[in-house]
Every structure is written in structure tokens, then in C-alpha cells.
Structure 1
Amino acid sequence: MLCMKAWVYGKVQGVGYRMFCRRQARDLGIQGYAINLDDGRVEVMMVGSEPQLAAMLEALHEGPRFSQVLGVDVERVDPGNPPPEGFMLG
């Protein structure tokens, strides 16, 4: 089980980006969260297997229809104990 945080920037707030993340995470079986940050980015924490996280990162770069993702910064992190259940929106 791996844990990563991603910070997505571009036009990613007000376009359904967090709901997109939740749908993708549910489809992939990933736990974590997506929250809007005050600086306009979306922070996404993901817990899953390496193939699950690779697929989620690919989806984060695409985003939903009305988004415009300019970049995604990624970092491996400790998921905490216990890791989050399901995929939460903040």
C-alpha cells in the first residue's frame, strides 16, 4: 500500500474537479481525499497500490471536461494510522 499527495494547479476549482477525483478513486478502489486550497490548487491524497496510483495520477493530469490542468506536483507521504476510509471531499 502506497500513499501519495498531489497538488493540482490550473483551472481546477469550480469545475467539478473534486467530484471527478472521487469518481476516479471509487472506480480504481483508492482511498484518500480531495480538497480545495486557498491558493487555487486542489490537494489530492491517495492510498492504493502502485498500479492504482499510476492510473489515478494519469486521471489527475486529464481532469474533468471543463478543467484545465497546468500541472501536478506529487510527493510520497505516510498515510497515517489508519489511512482514510473511502474518498472524502473537503
Structure 2
Amino acid sequence: MTQPQRLSAWVHGHVQGVGFRWWTRSRALELGLVGYASNHADGRVHVVAEGPPEVLELLVTALRSGETPGRVDLVVDEFAPARGDHAGFVER
């Protein structure tokens, strides 16, 4: 069995004020992931999610799909061991 991983993804583009965090939360909950999506002052959205690596890859694929609200220009992702410090998935 694979160990849970932690995804940290910085999403660049027109992703604030368009329902992007809500959309990301919905996808993450559908996939059974925990974590958060938060806006940053520079216009990026930071997505942190934990779960099985293959499921996290599905979330990254969704973020890059062109099916998101707004416009995603770039997703910079990094994977690390899960910390286990989240319950549910929230918008911040």
C-alpha cells in the first residue's frame, strides 16, 4: 500500500474571484482528499492536499485541464510525505 502524500500546488493565472477555490474544493472532496485552497496577494491560489499519490495526480490533472473556472496559466506542484494535519477540505 502506498503511503499518503502531500501536494503543494501554486496555481498561476486568473484564478481569484471566479469560483476557483470552490471548484478545487469540490474536486478534492469528490476524490476523498483533505487540505485547503487559499488565495494569495499576488493573485495565485495555493492548493495543499493530502491523500494517495495516484489520487493527488488526478487533482493536479484537473487543475491543468482547462475545465477550471477562470484561466490557469501554470501549475507548479511539489509532492512530499503527508503530515496528517488536515481534516476535510476548506477554502481559506
TM-score (norm 2): 0.88
Percent identical residues: 36
Partner of residue 83, structure 1:
85
What is the number of equivalent residue pairs in this alignment? 88
Structure 2 residue matching 1:14: 3-state secondary structure: coil
Structure 1 residue matching 2:68: 3-state secondary structure: coil
Partner of residue 51, structure 1:
54
The Cα RMSD (Å) is 1.3
User: In structure 1, what is the Cα distance between the partners aligned to 2:8 and 2:78?
Assistant: 5
5+ residue gaps, structure 2: none
Q: 8, 19, 22: which one pairs with 2:22?
A: 19
Tell me whether 1:31 sits opposite 2:29 in the alignment: no
Structure 2 residue matching 1:27: 3-state secondary structure: helix
User: In structure 2, what is the Cα distance between the partners aligned to 1:54 and 1:79?
Assistant: 14
Instruction: String of CA shifts for 1:29-74, please: whole Å, max 9, x gaps.
Output: 0000000000000000010101110110011113524x11000001
5+ residue gaps, structure 1: none
Q: 44, 59, 68: which one pairs with 1:64?
A: 68
User: In structure 2, what is the Cα distance between the partners aligned to 1:78 and 1:15?
Assistant: 31
Structure 2 residue matching 1:52: 3-state secondary structure: helix
Quickly say closer, same or farther: Cα 1:79–1:50, change in 2 above 3 A. Answer: closer
Structure 2 residue matching 1:70: 3-state secondary structure: strand
